Amino acid sequence: MNDLIFLVVSSMLFSIGLVGAVIHRSAVRVMISLEIMFNGVLLALLTLSKYFNPLGGSILALYAIALSSVEVGLLISVFILLYRRSKSLDVYEIVGLGE
Amino acid sequence: MSLPEFSLVYVLAAGTVAVIAAILSVKAREDFYSAILLGIVGLAIASLIALLGFPYVGIFQALVYVGATVMFVIMGVVFIGRGMVSEKKMALPGVLVAVLVFFSVLQILVSPLAQQVTTVNTALSLEGLLKVFSENLLAFFYLSLALLALLLAGISIARGETNE
């Protein structure tokens, strides 16, 4: 029953983040929604790893948290550069970066 | 593994905080408040992870995720300022999609638990962490190198160092 609570919370976080990522147009808000999804997935990973492989799940979670930190740093850098370049972070207006 | 009764209250409280903060983060008008609420989600998840029986992962989540990642986001939002992106309100379709995704994801997550009944109780301890680190030194070295390269790439991109 207790583990079901963890899985319900992780599913809710995943679905809330997915909706946020789909409905927002600002790239920063999309990234924040993806981070909410990441939190839900992390909780599900650890909840399920408790039954199958706790040590492996813990190590995978540590890697995932560290990589998420780097990913966010990189994305924020890209967003700052994009904003300097096009004065907008609307995901529908960011075009022509390959030119 | 069943938690003691007093822990159940903490689990319910942390879960409620996480979900409410996530909803408010998605619905917030300002990016800054959205980032702050993401930090609250991270803290609630860290406490849930600790209550789940992984205290070191919970501490790592609180220190690295909330301390670094969310700070990155907040600093970025402050640097960018108001992005001036007009958002369309899509409340009803959003809620419908969220409910559908919630039930499907929950079904996927619960199905392995229905087949598995035994619990392996060998969560990560400090000794286990040090053992893993010493046995996989090369892997940690490569990962550190990759993280450093990514950070340098991010700094380089943010400074606009292109070939032009």
DSSP state of A98: T
The pLDDT, as a whole number, for residue B164 is 47
DSSP state of A89: -
Check whether B128 has a pLDDT greater than 50: yes
Residue pLDDT, tens place only, B81-107: 765 566 666 667 777 777 777 877 777
Mean predicted lDDT score pLDDT of chain B: 78
Asked if B140 is an interface residue toward chain A (Cβ–Cβ < 8 A), one would say no
- Give this complex's ipTM: 0.90
Reduced to 3 states (helix: H, G, I; strand: E, B; else coil), residue B163 is coil
To the nearest whole Å, the CA of B35 is away from the closest chain A CA by 7
Domain holding A36: CATH number? Answer: 1.10.287.3510
To the nearest whole Å, the CA of A95 is away from the closest chain B CA by 15
User: Tens place of pLDDT for every residue, chain A, 99 residues?
Assistant: 678 889 999 999 999 998 888 888 888 899 999 999 999 999 999 998 888 888 888 888 998 998 888 888 888 888 888 888 877 788 777 766 655
Q: Which residues of B touch A23 (CB under 8 A)?
A: 87-88, 90, 93-94
The pLDDT, as a whole number, for residue B24 is 92
Q: What is the mean pLDDT of residues B159-163?
A: 58
The pLDDT, as a whole number, for residue B48 is 92
Residue pLDDT, tens place only, B52-71: 889 899 999 999 888 888 88
Q: How many domains does chain A have?
A: 1
Check whether B5 has a pLDDT greater than 80: no
The pLDDT, as a whole number, for residue A14 is 92
The pLDDT, as a whole number, for residue B46 is 93
Closest by Cα among A44, A20, A5, A17 to B16 = A5
Residue pLDDT, tens place only, B133-156: 777 777 677 767 767 777 777 777
Band of residue B120 on the pLDDT scale cut at 50, 70, 90: low
Asked if B26 is an interface residue toward chain A (Cβ–Cβ < 8 A), one would say yes
To the nearest whole Å, the CA of A86 is away from the closest chain B CA by 11
CB B90 within 8 Å of CB A23: yes
Residue A44 lies in domain: 3-95
B residues 106-125 lying closer than 8 A (beta carbon) to A: 106, 109-110, 112-113, 116, 118-124
The pLDDT, as a whole number, for residue A36 is 94
d(CA B61, CA B156): 27
**Using CA of residue B92, residue B98, residue B101, residue B106, what is the dihedral sign?**
negative
To the nearest whole Å, the CA of B122 is away from the closest chain A CA by 6
Instruction: Please name the member of A26, A32, A39 whose beta carbon is closest to the beta carbon of B73.
Output: A32
**Using CA of residue B2, residue B3, residue B5, residue B9, what is the dihedral sign?**
negative
CB B46 within 8 Å of CB B15: no
The pLDDT, as a whole number, for residue B84 is 57
Cβ–Cβ contacts within 10 Å for residue A77, how many? 22
Q: What is the mean pLDDT of residues B113-127?
A: 62
**Using CA of residue A68, residue A70, residue A73, residue A78, what is the dihedral sign?**
negative
Asked if A42 is an interface residue toward chain B (Cβ–Cβ < 8 A), one would say yes
Q: Tokens representing A84?
A: 């300097």
Instruction: Give the residue from B106, B110, B125 with the most A CB atoms within 10 Å of its CB, the best one to mutate.
Output: B106
Check whether B41 has a pLDDT greater than 90: yes
Asked if B63 is an interface residue toward chain A (Cβ–Cβ < 8 A), one would say no
d(CA A92, CA B87): 12
Phi and psi at residue A16, in whole multiples of 5°?
A: -65, -45
Nearest CA in chain A to B78: A80
**Using CA of residue A84, residue B146, residue A32, residue A26, what is the dihedral sign?**
positive
The pLDDT, as a whole number, for residue B115 is 67
Asked if A37 is an interface residue toward chain B (Cβ–Cβ < 8 A), one would say no
Question: Is A58 close to B57, i.e. CB distance below 8 A?
Answer: yes
Q: Which residues of A touch B123 (CB under 8 A)?
A: 50, 54-55, 58
Alpha helices (runs of H) in chain B, residue ranges in sequence order: 5-27, 31-52, 55-60, 70-80, 91-115, 126-135, 137-159
The pLDDT, as a whole number, for residue B42 is 93
**Predicted model pTM:** 0.78
Distance in angstroms between the alpha carbons of the first and the last residue of chain A: 55
